Amino acid sequence: MRFASFVVAVVAILSPLTLAQATNYSDMPPVLLGASWYPEQWPESQWDTDLSRMEAAHIHVVRVGEFAWSTMEPTEGQYNFDWLEHAIDLAAKHHICVVLGTPTAGPPAWLTEKYLETLRVDENGMRDEHGNRQQFSFADAKYRELAHDIAERMAERFGHNPNVVGWQLDNEYANPSFDPEAKAQFHAWLKKKYRTIDNLNYQWATAYWSQTYNDFDQIPVREDNENPALLLDWKRFVSDTWKSYSENQISAIRPHADPRQFITTNTMGWFDGFDEYTVHSVLDIAAWDDYIDSDHYDYIDNGARHDLTRGFKQKNFWVMETEPAFVDWRSTNTPLLKGQVRDMAWQAIGHGADTVEYWQWRANRNGQEQYHGVLVGIDGNPAPVYSEVQQVGAEFDKTGAALEGTSPHSEVAVIQSYDSRWAIEFQQHSAKFDPVKELLAFYKPLREQSQAVDIVSPDARLDRYKVVVAPALNMLPQAMADHLIAYVKQGGHLVLGPRTGLKDEYSALNPQRQPGPLVNLLGGSVTQFYALDYDVPVSGAEGSGTANIWAETLEATNPETKVLMRYGASNGWLDGQPAVLEREVGEGTITYVGAWLDPELMNKLTATWLERAGVKPIVANVPDGVEVCERTGDGKTVLILINHNTTPAQVTLPGEMTDLLHGGSAASVDLEKYGVAVLEK
């Protein structure tokens, strides 16, 4: 191998494990506090006051520009970037670096008026009118040309600006378009994939309901109520189209940008409108917008979404937006409780974020989001939450040196597959079977007991994990099964959840029944699945409890396969049937859990899986509701403890540690309500 290609190969192998420090600029702090700032909405005379207040809050990064197309290009071909340059320069004077957003989520009125074809069309054929935002078609060639142009002009001007540390493409990619061009592209995509219409007819089993096609152009484009094979391919096409949408802008920016400037986009947690792994294959780092999913902060769910985002590139990530106490888009926009904003900020760092940015800095004078939480009000003076964020900023500054070069490391992985989530959502069978909630039912006890979990795509490298759990890997083609078989054979402990292995990559039922190509390794299979709306007793050597929502009857066909749990008396079909199977394979094991089990029983089973694999908690005997996060690297170990409870808690440390927030060292820490401790070994 020539040296150059050897280097490329080594970098390719190492890169999933290397860190994305907050920026690649050595003169910027390693952990950044930031905010979304919209200078285009304010007279320039007020910028300095805003930036001074940011500096006083220890804000070191602003995201700018992502909705400013009409200011950057007020009429077609007339560009105005001077204001942006002034804003970037002034920010630099306040030691604040900039992430530039390309403004393509907000096309200006002149654009959509002149190029009507750039407007998005919904599934029912209705073309969007100009207004609001995100009203563009992601597939339209003209839109891409215009997006390329504005991104390129920005990059020509700012690609070597030393105060611009990165780029955010667009903003929260979301809806696909069903315009004629997108449909034609879908047909071409299908043709490339299947080559002949006969092949597609075979894989999709289109004899069903007379769906047989004579030509690719006849294929309808729909988001639901269709053949699941079609729906699946549409989602994959949408994923590829968002990927090429990104590539279009990357090709405009990269040639003009300093290699230190990263390119990313901001994602939305569990959102599954497309496959984030596909889109992230062309991005440098992952970044997400952390808004709590329900009216109250659920730290387990929020932590899982950080872990999910870290898994997109398998390295540290950014929180590009988060809420300064409340948002404006829920039915009741209750605030986080005092102290929880800081709690959330530290949870992000604990799970591998290198930056936390608030949306937004200052209340808009007008527009749809006047009620949203902010750090300073319309008058530019601090909102009550400002001082809590300022404290976070001071703490990031204090701990940055210790956190530099560190990231979370896990011995446990949970597999998350968009194909499988979609397959279940297309045919839920039980309205209560939400694949995310089912993933969380496995994740929660794993996280609480091991204190570190990676959430990864099915094709991630697995040999570094002691335990791998695939909660509902509904779509399990042969190649994926081979990957899992190799993991078990090299000594890994694999746990499969209900609904695993039902389908192949075309969404057709696997001929072996569940878990499809893993039937032989397991030495058993699923004889029947049942949706439930009542509790069913389940018991075995590991304990007893109940199943609900979903239960599968299993059958062991290999003498080496053990029945670990059985259903008790319920609907007749389940009575006395196996619910959990397990087989040892050399040093490894494969376990199949055929039901959605209650949390207590999941706790017990999880304890046996972790113990067998030798996975220990980072800090033992931690009180409930206290979260332990560890970041290691560069010879350093940093513990972040967060008390999510409303009452104080005490934690005994594994040994004497340095208290990075308060100074001194201690072997135990007292945490007040929502208290945080950052400790170095």
Q: Is 559 exposed, middle or buried (0-12, 13-18, 19+ CB in 10 A)?
A: exposed
CB of 373 to ligand GAL, least distance (A): 8
- Asked if 102 and 147 touch (Cβ cutoff 8 Å), the reply is yes
172 as an active site residue: the answer is: yes
CB of 205 to ligand GAL, least distance (A): 39
Q: Is the peptide bond before 617 cis (omega within 30 degrees of 0)?
A: no
Comparison of 29 and 108: residue with beta carbon closer to ligand GAL: 108
Residue showing the smallest CB distance to ligand GAL in the complex = 327
Comparison of 62 and 327: residue with beta carbon closer to ligand GAL: 327
Comparison of 327 and 496: residue with beta carbon closer to ligand GAL: 327
CB of 328 to ligand GAL, least distance (A): 7
Q: Of all helices (H) and strands (E), which one includes residue 463? A: none
Which residue in 601, 539, 624 sits closest to 574, CA to CA?
Answer: 539
In the complex, the residues that contact ligand GAL under the rule CB under 6 A are 171-172, 289, 291, 321, 327, 359, 369, 372
How many C-beta atoms surround the C-beta of residue 421 within 10 A? 22
Give bridge partners of residue 669 from the DSSP assignment: 651
CB of 133 to ligand GAL, least distance (A): 8
CB of 372 to ligand GAL, least distance (A): 6
SS3 at position 98: strand
Q: Is 210 exposed, middle or buried (0-12, 13-18, 19+ CB in 10 A)?
A: exposed
Give the β-pairing of 578-585 and 588-593: antiparallel
The span from the CA of 427 to the CA of 269, in Å, is 22
Catalytic residue among 172, 404, 448, 627: 172
CB of 615 to ligand GAL, least distance (A): 36
| Tokens 């339209």, located at residue | 140
> What sign does the dihedral 313-319-321-325 (CA atoms) show?
positive
Comparison of 38 and 194: residue with beta carbon closer to ligand GAL: 38
| Tokens 């927030």, located at residue | 661
Phi and psi at 634, nearest 5°, equal: 55, 30
The span from the CA of 193 to the CA of 232, in Å, is 13
Catalytic residue among 66, 152, 321, 425: 321
Phi and psi at 545, nearest 5°, equal: 180, -145
SS3 at position 122: coil
Comparison of 234 and 326: residue with beta carbon closer to ligand GAL: 326
- Asked if 310 and 454 touch (Cβ cutoff 8 Å), the reply is yes
Which residue in 118, 109, 68 sits closest to 88, CA to CA?
Answer: 68
Comparison of 289 and 454: residue with beta carbon closer to ligand GAL: 289
CB of 623 to ligand GAL, least distance (A): 33
| Tokens 């390295």, located at residue | 315
CB of 268 to ligand GAL, least distance (A): 7
Comparison of 359 and 592: residue with beta carbon closer to ligand GAL: 359
Give bridge partners of residue 632 from the DSSP assignment: 407, 637
The span from the CA of 193 to the CA of 416, in Å, is 24
323 as an active site residue: the answer is: no
Comparison of 30 and 373: residue with beta carbon closer to ligand GAL: 373
Comparison of 356 and 651: residue with beta carbon closer to ligand GAL: 356
The span from the CA of 279 to the CA of 174, in Å, is 12
Q: In this structure, what token pair is assigned to residue 517?
A: 């190509």
CB of 65 to ligand GAL, least distance (A): 12
**CA atoms within 13 A of residue 672's CA, in its CB half-sphere:** 4
Q: Which amino acid is at 322?
A: T
SS3 at position 539: strand
CB of 613 to ligand GAL, least distance (A): 39
What is the DSSP secondary structure assignment for residue 572, as one 8-state letter? Answer: S
Q: In this structure, what token pair is assigned to residue 339?
A: 């102290």
Give bridge partners of residue 525 from the DSSP assignment: 555
CB of 75 to ligand GAL, least distance (A): 25
| Tokens 């569940």, located at residue | 514
Comparison of 73 and 323: residue with beta carbon closer to ligand GAL: 323
Comparison of 356 and 414: residue with beta carbon closer to ligand GAL: 356
SS3 at position 372: coil
DSSP alpha helices (H): ranges in 57-140? 69-72, 82-93, 109-114
Which residue in 465, 413, 464 sits closest to 439, CA to CA?
Answer: 413
Write the CA distances from 582 to 478, 486, 565, 593, 665, integer angstroms.
21, 17, 10, 9, 46
Enumerate the active-site residues: 172, 321
